[in-house]
A = this chain, B = another copy of it.
Amino acid sequence: MADKARLSLNQITTANWSVAEAVEGCVRHGVRSIALWRHKIEEAGLSACVRAVSHDGLHVSSVCRGGMFPGPTEAERRRNIEDNFRAVDEAAALHADSLVMVVGGCAGVPLEDARKMVADGVSELVPYALERGVRIGLEPLHPMFAADRSVLVTIDQALELAQAHDAREVGVILDTFHIWWDPRVEELIARAAGRILGFHVSDWLNPLPDVLLGRGLMGDGVIDNRKLRRLVEQAGYHGPIEVEIFNRALWDSDADTVLAQVIERFEQFV
């Protein structure tokens, strides 16, 4: 059983909560880590967020998210990079373990070009992040997001991109929803040793209710989260485990009840 002390509430799971409410929720339920989303940070103001997490001694496992590098024009790509600099600033202020990268899809630019723009964008971000002590976590997303969210879709592809940089600077984020289907998942997680900066869990419901908002609570779908957690531990990762569930029905429920369920399922299935 995964130790509850490792559970981190990814804020999107309780999307109706503000940062302050999510922090209070974590304290109330004995959850020691949290992952914050940038649109929520913006709503609350960065310094208020910094005060909230430090007042309650919460650890920030990640800031979600930088990335979205591809763009059809140079001007657009510059704006994306500038926005990533701000994301690094936020991750630095919050002492987050990493800044999660959802690198962007290929809609609007040819696939090969999009991949190149991602590699270039990461390379431009790394020195800025290094100066501020922020680690970049490249998250391969499920291949069904290749058009709209991430041309980075497999662990080995993320590792290849990461390995152009120092392991202390750029690593990978492994999310069971995104990687569970891969026939090489065991081998690839082992190969990621030394580069794993984060681990996320949820479940794949069958049938899938929605591409974006259809993730399930652990135990409700087909993913063997416990097995994947063990593989990630064998590869040397023993940090926070984020529960990150995009699910419309959960968002429409009482967030306090959802967090209680999250903890129960975490202990039962992770």
Binding site for B on A (CB under 8 A): 105-107, 110-111, 115, 142-144, 146-148, 153-154, 156-157, 180-183, 204, 206-208, 211, 221-222, 224
Contact = CB atoms under 8 A, between A and B. Distances in A.
B111 A224 contact: yes
Given A143-B142, A183-B154, A110 B224 contact: yes
A147 B107 contact: no
A204 B106 CA distance: 11
A222 B181 contact: no
A144 B142 contact: yes
Given A110-B224, A144-B208, 7 more contacts: A142-B143, A143-B144, A143-B181, A146-B181, A147-B221, A154-B182, A208-B211
20 contacts: A105-B206, A107-B222, A111-B224, A143-B181, A143-B182, A144-B208, A144-B211, A146-B180, A146-B181, A146-B222, A147-B204, A147-B207, A147-B208, A147-B221, A147-B222, A148-B206, A148-B207, A148-B208, A154-B182, A156-B183
B183 A153 contact: yes
A222 B144 contact: no
Contacts of A182: 143, 153-154
Nearest to A212: B207
